[in-house]
Amino acid sequence: MPEIRNSKVMILATNGFEQSELLVPLQKLKEAGANVDVVSPERGEIRGWKHKDWGESVAVDKTIAEVKADDYDAIVLPGGQINPDLLRVNEQALKLIKAFIDSGKVVAAICHAPWLLVELDAVKGRQVTSYHSIKTDVKNAGGKWVDREVVTDRGIITSRNPGDLNAFVAKVIEEIEEGSHSRQRAAS
Contact status, residue 5 vs residue 17, Cβ threshold 8 Å: no
Please classify residue 42 by burial: count the beta carbons closer than 10 Å to its beta carbon, then call 0-12 exposed, 13-18 middle and 19+ buried: exposed
pLDDT at 181: 52
* Level-2 CATH architecture, domain 8-187: 3-Layer(aba) Sandwich (3.40)
Q: What is the predicted pLDDT for the residue at 2?
A: 62
For Cα atoms 37, 129, 6, give the angle at the middle one, nearest 5 degrees.
25
Q: How confident is the prediction along the chain (188 residues), in pLDDT tens digits per residue?
A: 566 888 999 999 999 999 999 999 999 999 999 999 999 999 999 999 998 999 999 999 999 999 999 999 999 999 999 999 999 999 999 999 999 999 999 999 999 999 999 999 999 999 999 999 999 999 999 999 999 999 999 999 999 999 999 999 999 999 999 885 543 444 33
Alpha helices (H) in the chain, listed in sequence order: 19-31, 82-87, 91-103, 114-119, 135-140, 165-178, 182-187
State the DSSP code for 104.
T
Provide the total of helices (H) and of strands (E) in the chain, helices listed first: 7, 12
This prediction's pTM: 0.94
Give the C-alpha separation, 113 to 108, whole Å. Answer: 9
Q: Where are the domains of the chain?
A: 8-187
Using CA atoms, how far apart are residues 160 and 168, in angstroms rounded to an integer?
9
Q: Are β-strands 17-18 and 156-159 bridged in parallel, bridged antiparallel, or unpaired?
A: unpaired
Q: In DSSP terms, which residues pair with 110 in a beta bridge?
A: 159
The predicted structure's pLDDT at residue 5: 86
If you compute the radius of gyration of the chain from its CA atoms, what whole number of angstroms results? Answer: 15
Per-residue pLDDT at 180:
58
Q: CA distances (Å), 52 to each of 9, 40, 48, 92, 159, in order?
A: 29, 22, 11, 29, 21
Question: What are the catalytic residues?
Answer: 112
